[in-house]
Amino acid sequence: MLTNKSLPVSLSLVSTDLPIWSTVETAATLYQKDQERFHLVLREPALPGGTPEPTATNDNKPSSNLQAVRLLWLEISPYRVMMTMQESKRLSYRHFWEQGVYGFNRYWLQNDQLQQHESFSLRNYTRSLRLEGRPLPHSLRLEYELWSNKLQLGHYILHLEFEQ
């Protein structure tokens, strides 16, 4: 398995019909699973307006001055993309895109006591999926529609740039 550590990436999400635009520039680790399949792991920034969450230190004691790590894990191929974010508190999600297919977006919300959690799902229709670059990818572009039952929630473009 080929690994590139601290690969700079830029991940952006844009809506073509709503005022939604977000970009994250960070370091990521790219793992090559085979010729066309890759795993990419990157840190996701904290949600706006969020308060820092305590994290465990090496001796498993909580440290209130460190922020909880939220990792994004992307499974990428020219045919499908899955993106997962699991956080120990508040929010987790998983997205699945495959060109010409209705995929899913699932979200889990937790309360402060961590005893109750709620989840909901949305559907997406992937209009276009393009992975460019060989042997390692340098660009991923997803164009999709987001749906809740029969209500369309907009058209989106997810664009990922890898710096080699």
- Could you read off the pLDDT of 24-69 as tens digits, one per residue? 898 899 999 888 999 999 887 665 655 555 444 444 444 443 455 6
Question: Which pTM was predicted?
Answer: 0.79
Number of H helices and number of E strands within the chain? 0, 12
Instruction: Report the pLDDT value the prediction gives residue 119, as an integer from 0 to 100.
Output: 84
Phi, psi of 36 (to 5 degrees): -120, 5
CA dist 10 and 27 (Å) reads 9
Tell which CATH classification among 3.40.50.1370, 2.70.150.10, 3.40.50.300, 2.40.128.20 matches the domain 2-48+65-162: 2.40.128.20
Per-residue pLDDT of the chain (164 residues; tens, 9 = 90+): 666 667 899 999 999 999 999 998 988 999 998 889 999 998 876 656 555 554 444 444 444 434 556 789 999 999 999 999 877 667 789 999 999 999 999 988 876 665 666 789 999 999 999 999 988 899 999 999 999 999 999 999 999 999 87
Using an 8 Å Cβ cutoff, are 136 and 30 in contact? yes
